Chains A and B, each alone.
Chain A
Amino acid sequence: MRTTLGALLCSAATMGAAQAQDGVDLEVMHWWTSGGEAAAVGKFAEALDEKTPHSWVDGAIAGGGDTARPVMVSRIIGGDPPAAFQFNHGRQAEELIEAGLLLDLTDVAEAQGWTDIVNPPGLLESCTIDGRIYCAPINIHSWNWMWLSGPAYEKAGLEMPTDWTGFIESAPALREAGVTPLAMGGQAWQQSGAFNNVMAIAIAGPEAWLSVMRDKNADTVLGEDYGRAFEAYAEARDLAQGWSGQDWNQATNAVITGEAGAQIMGDWAQGEFAVAGKTAGEDYGCLPGLGLGAYLQTGGDAFYFPKQDDPAVEAAQKELAALLLSPEVQVSFNSVKGSLPIRGDVDLTTVNECTQKGLDLLAKDQTLPSTEQLVSPDTITQLNDLMTEFWNTPSMTAEDVQARYAEVIADAD
Chain B
Amino acid sequence: MANPATLGAAALSADAIGAGPMSGPRGARPRRRLSRGNVFLYGTLLLVSLYYLLPLWVMVMTSLKGMPEIRMGNIFAPPVEVTFQPWVKAWAEACTGINCDGLSRGFWNSVRILIPSLVISIAVASVNGYALSNWRFRGSETFFAILIVGAFIPYQVMLYPVVILLRELGIYGSITGLVLVHTIFGMPILTLLFRNYFASVPEELFKAARVDGAGFWGIYFKIMLPMSLPIFVVAMIIQVTGIWNDFLFGVVYARPETYPMTVQLNNIVNSVQGVKEYNVNMAATLLTGLVPLVIYFASGKLFVRGIAAGAVKG
Binding site for B on A (CB under 8 A): 27, 29-30, 32-38, 41-42, 45, 56-64, 67, 70-71, 74-75, 77-80, 247-249, 271-272, 275
Contact = CB atoms under 8 A, between A and B. Distances in A.
Contacts of A64: 270, 272
A403 B159 CA distance: 36
Nearest to B273: A34
A142 B269 CA distance: 27
A64 B257 CA distance: 20
Interface in B58-110: 95-99
B274 A34 contact: yes
A61 B173 contact: no
The 6 closest A-B pairs by CB, nearest first: A60-B97, A34-B273, A80-B173, A78-B172, A62-B267, A59-B256
A71 B267 CA distance: 14
B271 A34 contact: yes
Interface in B121-174: 159-160, 163-164, 166-167, 172-173
Nearest to A45: B98
B263 interface: yes
A41 B97 contact: yes
Nearest to B265: A62
Contact of B267 (A27, A42, A61): A61
15 contacts: A27-B255, A27-B256, A34-B274, A58-B96, A62-B270, A74-B159, A74-B163, A74-B252, A77-B160, A77-B164, A78-B172, A79-B167, A80-B172, A271-B273, A272-B273
Contact of A249 (B164, B255, B257, B273): B273
Given A45-B98, A77-B160, A78-B166, A58 B256 contact: yes
A38 B163 CA distance: 29
Interface magnitude class on chain B: 20 to 34
A2 B95 CA distance: 22
Interface of B: 95-99, 159-160, 163-164, 166-167, 172-173, 251-253, 255-257, 263, 266-274
B267 A60 contact: yes
Contact of B274 (A45, A57, A79, A249): A249
B157 to A, nearest CB: 13
A62 B266 contact: yes
A272 B272 CA distance: 12
A78 to B, nearest CB: 4
B56 to A, nearest CB: 24
A112 to B, nearest CB: 25
Given A60-B97, A61-B263, A78 B273 contact: no
A33 B160 contact: no
Which of B257, B273, B274 is most buried by chain A, counting CB atoms within 10 A of its CB? Answer: B273
B298 to A, nearest CB: 32
Contact of A71 (B97, B98, B251, B268): B251
Contacts of A77: 160, 163-164, 167
